[in-house]
């Protein structure tokens, strides 16, 4: 669907579930809700265990639902044991490192992301090893910090999910533009980047979000009426 079609579908479904009470949401409000919905959709697909409490049946989900966001094997120079993540980075999928030691150059190894409170470098079985082609890393505010002692990591190559573009229908609002809370001015329009088969599900999530924000008394009953199972194809 185009963003205009998503707006139409959203308003139609919201009016239906809201018993024609017909509160008119402004275009920036609908845009914001649709963006919240697409972000939640991606998180449910990427991290199903984390969102089990939402009641989704997610066993059949595949990367196909978010394949348009996957950035394949983006390589980053490692400086002072740190690989700075790209500006459009959102979620980590997996990665590999390129290592040097003595005459052995550009040897590929596996990256293992660890928790900050892990004692992995204190264990001879878990610490980084050139011989075993393994390097430990943790996320910090600068990017991914790598732990390598007697060898050099020159590059980190990662597969990751990039940030989505903010979908909007700014051209349909007043003088054809509006300002986000961040101060960014939006004009024209931006369609959803996710595969088209996800768009109706995203609209369904947006309707639920809007219904909750509107504090409709029988929100839980109306939530159950929405066919959320179609998200779990």
Residue 64's pLDDT band (cuts 50, 70, 90): confident
What residue ranges do the domains of the chain occupy? 3-65+163-232, 70-162
Name the pairing type of β-strands 104-113 and 134-140: parallel
Report field, pTM of the whole predicted structure over 0.75: yes
pLDDT for the residue 223 = 45
At residue 10, the pLDDT reads 95
Does the pLDDT of residue 57 top 60, yes or no? Answer: no
pLDDT value at residue 231: 36
**Both tokens assigned to 193:** 């980047």
Averaged pLDDT, 62-81: 90
Which pLDDT score, from 0 to 100, does residue 119 have? 64
pLDDT in tens, 128-142: 999 999 999 999 988
Residue 158 has pLDDT above 90, yes or no: yes
């Amino acid at each position: 669907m185009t963003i205009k079609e998503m707006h139409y579908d959203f308003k139609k479904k919201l009016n239906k579930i809201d018993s024609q009470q017909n509160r008119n949401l402004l275009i920036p409000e609908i845009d914001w809700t649709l963006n919240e919905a697409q972000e939640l959709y991606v998180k449910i697909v990427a991290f199903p265990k984390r969102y089990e409490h939402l009641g989704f049946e997610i066993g059949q989900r595949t990367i196909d639902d978010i394949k348009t966001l996957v950035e394949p094997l983006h390589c980053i120079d490692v400086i002072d044991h740190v690989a700075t993540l790209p500006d459009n980075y959102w979620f980590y999928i997996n990665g590999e490192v390129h290592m040097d030691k003595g005459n052995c150059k550009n040897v590929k190894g596996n990256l293992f992301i660890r928790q900050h409170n892990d004692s992995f470098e204190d264990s001879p079985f878990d610490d980084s090893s050139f011989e075993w082609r393994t390097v430990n890393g943790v996320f910090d505010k600068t990017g991914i910090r790598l732990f390598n002692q007697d060898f050099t990591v020159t590059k980190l190559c990662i597969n990751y999910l990039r940030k989505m573009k903010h979908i909007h229908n700014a051209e349909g609002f007043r003088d054809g533009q509006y300002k986000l809370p961040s101060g960014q001015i939006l004009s024209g329009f931006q369609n959803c980047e996710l595969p088209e088969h996800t768009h109706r599900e995203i609209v369904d999530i947006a309707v639920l979000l809007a219904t909750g924000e509107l504090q409709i008394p029988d929100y839980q009953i109306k939530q159950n009426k929405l066919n959320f199972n179609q998200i779990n194809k």
